[in-house]
Structure 1
Amino acid sequence: MNTNNSQTILLAGATGYLGGYIAKALVEENIKAKFIARSPEKLDCFKSKTVKIIKSEVTKPETLKGVCNGVTTVISTVGITRQKEGLTYMDVDYQANLNLLNEAKKAGVKKFIYVSAINGNRYRHLKIFEAKEKFVDALKSSGLDFTVIRPNGFFSDMRDFLNMARKGKIYLFGNGEQKFNPIHGEDLAIVCLQAMQINNTEITVGGPDILTLNEIGEMALNALQKPIKIIHLPDWLRRLIIWTLRTFTSSKTYGPIEFFLTLMAEDNIAPRFGNNRLYHFFKDNAETISQ
């Protein structure tokens, strides 16, 4: 990979799904880096001559003082799908990233790479995207060079299909012909490292296979050696569920559900990248799901 050896990368979110793959790629490429984490012991496997691991919490700006000193580029995968531990999307996806951005500006960091999600600007009305896009706005006006990565769903999110398949049936809204191409964390990590060379742009990216929800459901059932049973529910029921949850529950409950039910209702196709196939991911994860 063509990266500049004079760079020092600060990675936030290294204990997450995508962050772990970026951490691994930075180590393999011998790129000088700092990994910050609330529980640094989780990153012990990445310790090397080129990597420094620092205890820090992005939600607590006082713990970030000095972490960006000597850093040329920040990569942040910080974000939550489900709100927990009293933290909201605004606390994490917006404010925590803003804390990191402010520290980066103080230290003279040149570039900030942020991982959001596909079509975020179109979906600002969703609680998750409201926070993510508010940070994107702040990043674009920060004066730093930036790259916003917009993946079309992670393979890890597709485990929900395996969880359904374990019970013998896949439930989909509408006809199930909605298409999208989720991407494996390993492939997305390559995109994130390549983004170090690309300034002031947004990169929308997905995996190599454009699949319908029906095809993904069949894959999940096949991986668990279950008969193909896919139940199609009317789309009005999907809309009713979102409305009911928004009306009668807090964003802690409805946030992730409105996110998935909204994005799964229409095609979301991104430029294709990578070599990892969803079917192989399902086969690899079938054993852990079936236990």
Structure 2
Amino acid sequence: MNAKKVLVAGATGYLGQFLVKELKKRGYWVRVLIRKEAQKGMFKEVDDIFVGQVTDPDSIQGITKGIDWVFSSIGITRQKEGMLYMDVDYQGNSNLLKEAVKEKVEAFQYISAINGDKLRQLKIFEAKERFVDELKNSGLQYCIIRPNGFFSDMKDFLSMAKAGRVYLFGEGHKKLNPIHGEDLAKVCLDQMMLGTKEITVGGPDILSQNDLAVLALKAWQKPIKITHLPDWTRRFMIWLLRTFTSSKTYGPVEFFMTAMAFDNIANCYGSHKLEDFYKLEVEKMKKNKQ
């Protein structure tokens, strides 16, 4: 049994679930934070379950008592249930950090995103990076992980491909190396053990958007049909949404559309292939339909 006691906040999310499994595999004592009693069934192997909401500081009092390391992947992509990025990605994590400082935890790891520090003008990054600043000034040992897109984020290409055609903005040459949650969980723990301050993390394969489209269409066994839309349409859509909708609506679209205009290449880690992930997802979708 590892002597460290660990808290995983965001445990029910894509990365959080893999992180819990990796920590238990390596013998750590693990406490998870969940929002609802009904989520308890998701965690059979953990040592302690704490029910509370990071957006309600009173409900998480004492959550870090006896804890050495905190891992937080708390954040939202789509703003719903009346919650904005500032409420969750910033304030929720800030509430958790206050508890960690109070209990003098040894180290706090936060999962932000690649290029978040360079794209603070986006609503989602404005909130994440405000918390990053606060964590760095907290006096605690910190570790900022900046992952590239998760495999789960790449499902949008699969959804388009199912209909037989993938639409891309520009020429489709921009590259990224998305990472599987299992691979990322290993990196998160390894970097915490090493005492790394800040690192960008991506998967083993650097792929262009055209490559992603081809992989998605092949997974559905469809002919390769890709339509390239002029890049001005992407910029116009962002302007249109910012002008005529609230940040609740345009936040996630602004994030994805802005990210698509850059190369997003992070340090390469892991062994999972996106091609295999796509094939498994298609099999799942076909089974669910039966």
Under a length normalisation based on structure 1, what TM-score does the superposition of the two structures give? 0.96
* Deviations, residues 233-288 of structure 1 (Å, cap 9, x unaligned): 00001000001100110011110001001111111111100000000000000133
**Aligned counterpart, 1:129:** 125
User: Is residue 222 from structure 1 mapped to residue 218 from structure 2 by the alignment?
Assistant: yes
- Partner residue of 2:236 out of 240, 245, 252: 240
What is the aligned partner in structure 2 of residue 105 from structure 1? 101
Partner residue of 2:251? 255
Q: Which residue of 2 aligns with 1:79?
A: 75
In the alignment, the residues of structure 2 paired with residue 83 and residue 198 of structure 1 have an alpha-carbon distance, to the nearest angstrom, of 34
Partner of 1:32: 29
2:268 matched residue in structure 1: 272
Q: Does the Cα contact within 8 Å between 1:116 and 1:151 map onto a contact in 2?
A: yes
**1:27–1:46 contact (8 Å) kept in structure 2:** no
Task: Decide whether the 8 Å contact of 1:15 with 1:43 is kept in 2.
Answer: no
Q: What RMSD over aligned residues (CA atoms) do the two structures have, in Å?
A: 1.2
Q: Which segments of structure 1 move beyond 6 Å, counting only runs of 4 or more?
A: none
Matched residue type, 2:64 = C
Deviation, 1:45, is 4.2
The one-letter code matched in structure 2 to 1:37 is I
Unaligned runs of 5+ in 2: none
Question: In 1, Cα distance between the equivalents of 2:63 and 2:191?
Answer: 22
Say which SS state the counterpart of residue 83 (structure 1) adopts.
Answer: coil
- Using structure 2 for the length normalisation, give the TM-score: 0.96
Residue 252 of structure 2 aligns to a residue whose secondary structure is helix
CA contact (8 A) 1:24 1:46 kept: no
Match of 1:172 among 163, 168, 171: 168
Can you give the 5+ residue segments of structure 1 that lack an aligned partner in the other structure?
none
**Is the Cα contact below 8 Å between 1:47 and 1:53 reproduced in 2?**
no
Is the aligned partner of 1:144 residue 2:146? Answer: no
CA displacement, residues 132-171 of structure 1 (integer Å, 9 cap, x when unaligned): 0000000000000000000011000000001001111100
Matched, 1:23 2:20: yes
Count residues with an aligned counterpart. 287
Q: 1:139·1:146 contact (CA, 8 Å) conserved in 2?
A: yes
Q: Is the 8 A contact 1:145 1:200 kept in 2?
A: no
Q: In the alignment, is residue 10 of structure 1 matched against residue 21 of structure 2?
A: no
